[in-house]
Amino acid sequence: MIKSKLRYKVLRLRKNYSKKSININPSNIYSYLKKKNYNMKIIGGYYPTNYEIDDLEILDYFFRKGSTISLPKIRKKSQMEFHKWFKNDPLLINKYGILEPGINNILYPDILFVPLVAFDKELNRLGYGGGFYDRYIQKISKIKKIVKVGLAFSFQKLKTIPVNKYDKKLDIIITEKDII
Protein backbone atom coordinates (compact mmCIF):
# COMPACT_ATOMS: atom_id res chain seq x y z
CA MET A 1 0.00 0.00 0.00
CA ILE A 2 2.78 2.42 0.87
CA LYS A 3 4.58 1.71 -2.41
CA SER A 4 1.44 2.30 -4.47
CA LYS A 5 0.84 5.67 -2.77
CA LEU A 6 4.45 6.70 -3.40
CA ARG A 7 4.15 5.58 -7.04
CA TYR A 8 1.00 7.62 -7.58
CA LYS A 9 2.50 10.75 -6.01
CA VAL A 10 5.79 10.64 -7.93
CA LEU A 11 4.21 9.68 -11.27
CA ARG A 12 1.91 12.71 -11.04
CA LEU A 13 4.92 14.95 -10.38
CA ARG A 14 6.90 13.34 -13.20
CA LYS A 15 4.10 13.88 -15.70
CA ASN A 16 4.09 17.63 -14.99
CA TYR A 17 7.85 17.95 -14.66
CA SER A 18 8.83 16.06 -17.80
CA LYS A 19 7.12 18.62 -20.01
CA LYS A 20 10.19 20.74 -19.37
CA SER A 21 13.16 19.90 -21.54
CA ILE A 22 15.46 18.05 -19.14
CA ASN A 23 18.30 15.97 -20.50
CA ILE A 24 21.12 13.93 -19.09
CA ASN A 25 24.34 14.45 -21.01
CA PRO A 26 25.28 11.13 -22.72
CA SER A 27 28.94 12.12 -22.89
CA ASN A 28 29.09 12.55 -19.10
CA ILE A 29 27.52 9.12 -18.54
CA TYR A 30 29.89 7.47 -21.00
CA SER A 31 32.95 9.19 -19.48
CA TYR A 32 31.91 8.23 -15.95
CA LEU A 33 31.37 4.56 -16.81
CA LYS A 34 34.59 4.43 -18.86
CA LYS A 35 36.56 5.96 -15.97
CA LYS A 36 35.19 3.19 -13.72
CA ASN A 37 36.48 0.63 -16.27
CA TYR A 38 33.06 -0.94 -16.73
CA ASN A 39 32.55 -3.19 -19.73
CA MET A 40 30.30 -1.27 -22.15
CA LYS A 41 30.13 -3.77 -25.00
CA ILE A 42 26.38 -4.46 -24.61
CA ILE A 43 24.02 -1.81 -23.28
CA GLY A 44 20.50 -2.60 -22.12
CA GLY A 45 18.19 0.36 -22.43
CA TYR A 46 14.47 0.89 -22.56
CA TYR A 47 12.06 2.65 -24.88
CA PRO A 48 10.79 5.57 -22.77
CA THR A 49 7.13 5.66 -21.84
CA ASN A 50 4.98 7.25 -19.15
CA TYR A 51 7.21 10.36 -18.90
CA GLU A 52 10.38 8.41 -18.05
CA ILE A 53 13.82 9.87 -18.64
CA ASP A 54 14.34 9.57 -22.40
CA ASP A 55 17.39 7.34 -22.82
CA LEU A 56 17.29 7.15 -26.64
CA GLU A 57 19.93 9.86 -27.08
CA ILE A 58 22.10 8.11 -24.50
CA LEU A 59 21.72 4.78 -26.31
CA ASP A 60 22.56 6.42 -29.64
CA TYR A 61 25.71 7.93 -28.11
CA PHE A 62 26.85 4.55 -26.78
CA PHE A 63 26.08 2.96 -30.17
CA ARG A 64 28.29 5.56 -31.91
CA LYS A 65 31.04 4.69 -29.41
CA GLY A 66 30.84 1.03 -30.46
CA SER A 67 28.38 -0.50 -27.99
CA THR A 68 25.67 -2.93 -29.06
CA ILE A 69 22.22 -1.75 -27.94
CA SER A 70 19.42 -3.93 -26.61
CA LEU A 71 15.88 -3.27 -25.39
CA PRO A 72 13.62 -5.36 -23.16
CA LYS A 73 10.96 -7.68 -24.44
CA ILE A 74 8.27 -9.05 -22.10
CA ARG A 75 7.85 -12.81 -22.05
CA LYS A 76 5.40 -15.20 -20.43
CA LYS A 77 5.17 -15.45 -16.64
CA SER A 78 6.25 -11.81 -16.21
CA GLN A 79 9.76 -12.52 -17.48
CA MET A 80 11.84 -10.11 -19.52
CA GLU A 81 14.74 -10.56 -21.95
CA PHE A 82 16.88 -8.06 -23.80
CA HIS A 83 17.12 -8.19 -27.58
CA LYS A 84 19.49 -6.46 -29.99
CA TRP A 85 18.09 -3.22 -31.40
CA PHE A 86 19.25 -0.52 -33.81
CA LYS A 87 17.80 2.97 -33.85
CA ASN A 88 15.65 2.45 -36.94
CA ASP A 89 14.63 -1.17 -36.33
CA PRO A 90 10.86 -1.69 -36.19
CA LEU A 91 9.29 -1.94 -32.75
CA LEU A 92 6.11 -3.72 -31.70
CA ILE A 93 3.65 -2.63 -29.02
CA ASN A 94 3.38 -5.20 -26.22
CA LYS A 95 0.32 -5.89 -24.06
CA TYR A 96 1.36 -3.09 -21.68
CA GLY A 97 1.50 -0.53 -24.50
CA ILE A 98 5.31 -0.41 -24.42
CA LEU A 99 7.42 -0.56 -27.56
CA GLU A 100 9.81 -3.51 -27.81
CA PRO A 101 12.05 -5.08 -30.47
CA GLY A 102 10.31 -7.15 -33.12
CA ILE A 103 13.38 -9.24 -33.86
CA ASN A 104 14.44 -12.04 -31.52
CA ASN A 105 18.15 -11.77 -30.81
CA ILE A 106 18.76 -12.23 -27.06
CA LEU A 107 21.71 -10.39 -25.54
CA TYR A 108 22.92 -10.10 -21.95
CA PRO A 109 23.79 -6.47 -21.19
CA ASP A 110 26.95 -5.38 -19.40
CA ILE A 111 25.36 -2.05 -18.48
CA LEU A 112 21.62 -1.95 -17.79
CA PHE A 113 19.84 1.41 -17.85
CA VAL A 114 16.81 1.04 -15.62
CA PRO A 115 13.74 3.31 -15.59
CA LEU A 116 12.30 4.04 -12.17
CA VAL A 117 9.50 5.84 -10.39
CA ALA A 118 11.55 6.88 -7.35
CA PHE A 119 14.85 6.19 -5.59
CA ASP A 120 16.66 6.88 -2.34
CA LYS A 121 20.27 7.59 -1.32
CA GLU A 122 20.79 3.88 -0.58
CA LEU A 123 20.28 3.17 -4.32
CA ASN A 124 16.94 1.48 -3.76
CA ARG A 125 14.53 1.75 -6.68
CA LEU A 126 10.77 1.98 -6.73
CA GLY A 127 9.48 0.63 -10.03
CA TYR A 128 5.98 0.22 -11.39
CA GLY A 129 5.23 -2.79 -9.19
CA GLY A 130 5.44 -5.62 -11.72
CA GLY A 131 8.88 -6.85 -10.63
CA PHE A 132 10.13 -7.26 -14.21
CA TYR A 133 13.50 -5.60 -13.63
CA ASP A 134 14.01 -7.24 -10.22
CA ARG A 135 13.41 -10.69 -11.74
CA TYR A 136 15.65 -9.90 -14.72
CA ILE A 137 18.47 -8.62 -12.50
CA GLN A 138 18.19 -11.73 -10.33
CA LYS A 139 18.39 -13.96 -13.42
CA ILE A 140 21.22 -12.19 -15.26
CA SER A 141 23.34 -11.82 -12.11
CA LYS A 142 23.72 -15.61 -12.18
CA ILE A 143 25.01 -15.41 -15.77
CA LYS A 144 27.36 -12.41 -15.68
CA LYS A 145 28.34 -9.25 -13.85
CA ILE A 146 26.02 -6.41 -14.75
CA VAL A 147 26.11 -2.73 -13.79
CA LYS A 148 22.63 -1.45 -12.98
CA VAL A 149 22.20 2.27 -13.72
CA GLY A 150 18.97 4.02 -12.77
CA LEU A 151 17.97 7.07 -14.81
CA ALA A 152 15.73 9.60 -13.09
CA PHE A 153 14.84 13.22 -12.55
CA SER A 154 16.43 14.60 -9.36
CA PHE A 155 13.01 15.28 -7.81
CA GLN A 156 12.28 11.52 -7.87
CA LYS A 157 14.65 11.08 -4.93
CA LEU A 158 12.81 10.22 -1.73
CA LYS A 159 14.14 10.01 1.81
CA THR A 160 13.55 6.27 1.90
CA ILE A 161 12.06 3.58 -0.33
CA PRO A 162 10.31 0.63 1.34
CA VAL A 163 12.01 -2.57 0.17
CA ASN A 164 11.41 -6.29 0.43
CA LYS A 165 13.59 -9.33 -0.19
CA TYR A 166 12.81 -9.33 -3.93
CA ASP A 167 13.87 -5.73 -4.57
CA LYS A 168 17.27 -5.31 -6.24
CA LYS A 169 19.46 -2.29 -5.52
CA LEU A 170 21.01 -0.26 -8.30
CA ASP A 171 24.75 0.35 -8.59
CA ILE A 172 24.46 3.94 -9.84
CA ILE A 173 21.68 6.49 -10.18
CA ILE A 174 22.09 9.31 -12.68
CA THR A 175 19.91 12.41 -12.69
CA GLU A 176 20.11 15.67 -14.59
CA LYS A 177 21.97 17.10 -11.57
CA ASP A 178 24.33 14.40 -10.33
CA ILE A 179 25.60 10.82 -10.19
CA ILE A 180 24.92 8.86 -7.02
Mind listing the pLDDT tens digit of every residue in the chain (180 residues)?
588 887 777 777 777 765 555 678 999 999 999 999 999 999 999 999 888 888 999 999 999 999 999 999 999 888 999 999 998 899 999 998 999 998 899 999 999 999 999 999 999 999 988 999 999 999 999 999 999 999 999 999 999 999 999 999 999 999 999 999
For position 57, what pLDDT does the model report?
Answer: 94
Max CA pair span of the chain? 43
Query: Looking at the 3D structure of the chain, how many domains does it have?
Result: 1
For position 76, what pLDDT does the model report?
Answer: 84
9 Cα distance to chain centroid: 20
In a domain, 179, yes or no: no
CA angle (139 as vertex; 40, 39 as ends), nearest 5: 10
Cβ–Cβ < 8 Å for 104, 83: yes
For position 6, what pLDDT does the model report?
Answer: 79
State the number of CA atoms in the 13 A half-sphere of 101 facing the CB: 23
CATH number of the domain at 38, please. Answer: 3.40.50.10420
In a domain, 48, yes or no: yes
Calculate helix-pair angle for 26-35, 56-64, nearest 10 degrees: 60
Q: Which domain holds residue 46?
A: 2-174
For position 1, what pLDDT does the model report?
Answer: 56
